[in-house]
């Protein structure tokens, strides 16, 4: 990916994260103020394809967004460049996202 494409993905994932963080925090605040415990919240969301989809998109956006940002920092500070460098950061982003998606699946089928 070139710089313009990375910039576009970074901004796109930032928009997704902005919405996802607000939805996540509002949902938790409303549930907790309503008197629900963590176990009750998980019980209500368990088996929901909508929440699984939401948190999977959230995790993918967070993983890619973070990896692109860290790639830019590493390129600037260490001067690393090249295709292998780019592929390593894509792998780091997807691995990070996979951890989040795995956690979402754990809640889905817990």
Question: For residue range 6-55, what is the model confidence (pLDDT) as tens digits?
Answer: 899 999 999 999 999 999 999 989 988 988 888 888 888 888 899 899 99
* SS3 (DSSP) at 82: coil
CA 38/CA 51 separation, integer angstroms: 15
CA 102/CA 47 separation, integer angstroms: 14
CA 110/CA 45 separation, integer angstroms: 10
pTM of the model: 0.82
Q: What is the mean pLDDT of the chain?
A: 88
Q: State the sign of the Cα–Cα–Cα–Cα dihedral 18, 21, 26, 29.
A: negative
Q: What is the pLDDT of residue 62?
A: 94
CA dihedral 109, 56, 97, 75 (to 10 degrees): -170
Q: What is the pLDDT of residue 47?
A: 85
Per-domain residue ranges of the chain: 3-109
């Amino acid at each position: 990916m070139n710089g313009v494409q990375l910039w576009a993905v970074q901004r796109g994932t930032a928009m997704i994260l902005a919405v996802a963080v607000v939805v996540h925090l509002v949902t938790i605040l409303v549930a907790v103020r309503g008197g629900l415990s963590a176990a009750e919240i998980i019980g209500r969301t368990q088996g929901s394809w909508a929440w699984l989809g939401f948190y999977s998109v959230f995790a993918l956006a967070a993983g890619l967004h973070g990896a692109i940002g860290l790639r830019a920092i590493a390129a600037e500070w260490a001067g690393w460049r090249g295709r292998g460098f780019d592929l390593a950061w894509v792998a780091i982003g997807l691995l990070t996202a996979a951890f989040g998606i795995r956690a979402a699946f754990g809640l889905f089928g817990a």
